[in-house]
Amino acid sequence: MTIFLQRDGCIYDIDLSSGIDLSLPLRSGAENPNAFGAPLPVFSPVRVGSFVGSTAEGSPVNFYNVFFNPHGNGTHTECVGHIAQERYVLHDCLKEFHFWAKLVSLSPQACANGDQLLLCEQIETVLKPFEVDALVVRTLPNTSEKRQRQYTRTNPPYLQAEAASLLAEYGIRHLLIDLPSIDREEDGGALAAHKAFWRYPEAIRSDCTITELIYVPDEVPDGFYWLNLQTASFDLDVSPSKPVLFAIRPR
């Protein structure tokens, strides 16, 4: 199915049959990315008396319990409720699901303290003010090992707080990135990049989201896309998510 959209006086075709899924499938056990010491996901059949919810064990249906941590176990989208003292839940904050997006590839830069950061000046080279609603960041090198990387106590790369502030200034409402967090793994609770992106607590951007632990295949070129951001309606600040990019073609 192909639809067309108009933007800035131009008309674009979008093929909805060729989406590019940026989410990582959540599996039971260790074959997932993991961060912040989160317990591993566990999928287990319900057992009640003689009933076992597994067709492999003779049941007519599969009927599983699922235990996981959205922030630590895989691709997830979060709202300002992740850091706010006030209660915000994602399904109240995210009311639109389709956005103009730009995919960029950036190499984290080594800093004097040994950390690896995405810097403000890097963002300035790849993004113009109010160019798109959503920015998708693929960090380099982009190895397939990201699909199962164990990030806990490794001090992964993160986003400079000034860069997060610039994204807010440039009108980016939805930031998607292949890192476990836009902030340092251990920062004493500062969460400077999260606060800068959401402008918390001075001028809260409650309709904006951050999606972490995506994976963008190498064969997907940098450029402009149409984004569908899919989440589940958990009554939480976060949900496992399925961001899907669609190529756009000028008519």
**Structural domains of the chain, with CATH:** 2-27+70-250 (3.50.30.50)
pLDDT of residue 129: 98
pLDDT of residue 29: 96
Residue with tokens 């809260």: 204
Contact 91, 199 (CB under 8 A): no
pLDDT of residue 251: 85
pLDDT of residue 9: 85
pLDDT of residue 2: 86
pLDDT of residue 207: 98
Per-residue burial over 18-41, b if 16 or more Cβ lie within 10 Å, else e, is: ebbebbbebeeeeebbbbeebebb
- Report the distance separating Cα 77 and Cα 70, nearest Å: 9
Q: What is the CA radius of gyration of the chain?
A: 19
pLDDT of residue 6: 87
Ranges of the chain whose pLDDT falls below 70: none
pLDDT of residue 104: 98
Cis upstream peptide for 141 (omega within 30°): yes
pLDDT of residue 4: 85
pLDDT of residue 1: 79
pLDDT of residue 133: 98
Share of the chain above pLDDT 90, in %: 93
Contact 142, 103 (CB under 8 A): no
Contact 179, 156 (CB under 8 A): yes
